[in-house]
Structure 1
């Protein structure tokens, strides 16, 4: 007998097996990554979502905390064709529901055709279809969390030392740990500041670069981070990754839009507009830059031509929609971090009036 149920916004209820008990609700999304399940499950960008893995077996090389991207699991629940016991035990300890033994191919196809959809999950000995439907009903009545940044940001200013050659003010909208380590490896001390840090907080760091991190949710809700970009344009070089790119674009009179099912995987092809070179990238986002505003589009997605890189040579701006630090995924784009710190060496930023 099934002991887990997944109720979907299209009206269907899918039977499954409980691997970690609980009841929850959220936006159902999928990733095509076939490795890196530890990194994906600890990526703050999945906050409040239900993560489906398209790869059929999740957990085939165990669970090691040194591969985590943050200090906890962020999706509200996890779904797979089959989870190993290691992953099931980890998610149980984390209090995150997990279900398997369902046709994830059909589930992914539904998301691709109809877009990311709200869902409800009930898993455990007392699970019923009605319980899953009740969770879905609660989810349908919820608007998107407008202050989601508060759930994933640092509580206070922390410093990650990397040699002292540069000082980077990283606005933590849900930053992955490997972004910090990528900067540390290049000699940068990274000052991690809350997502709602003030301009005075940034100036107290006396940084060489302002860096806006990745994170979950609608970029339109990260108004303070956008304000920082507007304030420091011309005063500091500015960089952004994923949500960070979207925030920077909005600060330059651009706009953003929600995608049907987003880009989530480790094999997204991105082309450099000037050179025509294509690299494979890791991505995890549900919003995109629909209008770059006063920024130049430097890279595009080969599949759908969405903006993957933005820049302004005049203002010392460089951003990426994908994750150059990967983890998981290819390392084709690690040079982005060299380019960011190179803005400091070149003195690219314009001095503010």
Structure 2
């Protein structure tokens, strides 16, 4: 059956429902992902909460869905747009086809859409509200994009513990990917995950050696209420911030963030590491970046730049044991070039274990 993708700028694209037709219009912010693989990780990444994802690679689904590569308990996207989807499960670990998995969670997928044309519109006009619909004409549609805080929808509401290592890391959950947790456990850490709005006093009672601020969805400024808590944490513990965690760490010490026209989403973004004087490829998923002009007086210095648009991709602090990255060093889906940053974090934690942090 025919289906339609309507963009707020007035463009309409005709396709075919590859899953069961939705009973109502599907609304969301439309974004695009440029990776050839990794659709399973993308669908289950909480940072994509309530977004309609356009996969730019023309064939999606050809190796199916397995039981190992989920980044959370369920998919978080509002809808999926592809040119072509393969119903086969062409990998020995596959348990479902892409269609079966999306249908299980009632997430609609439109196929036979000119995804190149859609992506060009997003690049020209920026990410925008969109509607997946049975209606051919968009005149009666409301292009509403929720401005509600999304982290509360994906952060686990209880404290959980994992591993038995000597180094204790508290992972503040803004919608963390399981591969971040796995990266810490692989390094023999004991990890405690806590909800995004956990108080400083509760975190202190857990006696962590270091703090990891996770990725998550939405505008970092929606979480302004927790910035005083994060400021205390940054002054008390070694901290590693990833994606949203990077943005929040910047905001907590007085920097500012801004929204990119169409964001960075894919596994092919080149990054310059100023400290090591190297260039590597990274996996990314974000709409917001730290404004470099706002770093004056914060103590932050840029360590990583994006070589496509020269936006900030990571910070270090002059006086505090704080390191942040905009990209995903846990590398699921790859590449794994930046995996060494978890080792850097652990070494930083060891160096400051038991030492008092002096903040000027």
Structure 2 equivalent of residue 30 of structure 1: 32
Structure 2 SS opposite 1:233: helix
* Separation in 2, partners of 1:151, 1:249: 23
Choose from 125, 135, 153 the match for 1:128: 135
Structure 2 equivalent of residue 174 of structure 1: 175
Contact 1:270–1:308 (Cα < 8 Å) also in 2: yes
Name which of structure 1's ranges 82-91 and 182-191 shifts more when overlaid on structure 2.
82-91
1:341 matched to 2:352? The reply is no
Contact 1:24–1:121 (Cα < 8 Å) also in 2: yes
Structure 1 residue 350, shift from structure 2 partner: 4.4
* Separation in 2, partners of 1:282, 1:99: 25
Structure 2 equivalent of residue 316 of structure 1: 321
* Separation in 1, partners of 2:358, 2:309: 37
TM-score by length of 1: 0.93
Structure 2 SS opposite 1:67: coil
1:94 matched to 2:89? The reply is no
* Separation in 2, partners of 1:210, 1:337: 12
TM-score by length of 2: 0.91
* Separation in 1, partners of 2:55, 2:39: 8
* Separation in 1, partners of 2:146, 2:38: 30
Contact 1:214–1:243 (Cα < 8 Å) also in 2: yes
Contact 1:315–1:350 (Cα < 8 Å) also in 2: no
Contact 2:169–2:189 (Cα < 8 Å) also in 1: yes
Structure 2 SS opposite 1:214: coil
Contact 1:219–1:247 (Cα < 8 Å) also in 2: yes
* Separation in 1, partners of 2:306, 2:207: 35
Structure 1 residue 111, shift from structure 2 partner: 0.7
* Separation in 2, partners of 1:224, 1:193: 17
Name which of structure 1's ranges 170-179 and 6-15 shifts more when overlaid on structure 2.
6-15
Contact 1:254–1:294 (Cα < 8 Å) also in 2: no
Contact 1:58–1:80 (Cα < 8 Å) also in 2: yes
Name structure 1 gaps, 5 residues minimum.
none
Structure 1 residue 223, shift from structure 2 partner: 2.6
Deviations 1:10-58 (A, max 9, x none): 1122111101231310100000011110000000000011000000111
Contact 2:319–2:358 (Cα < 8 Å) also in 1: no
Name which of structure 1's ranges 220-229 and 150-159 shifts more when overlaid on structure 2.
220-229
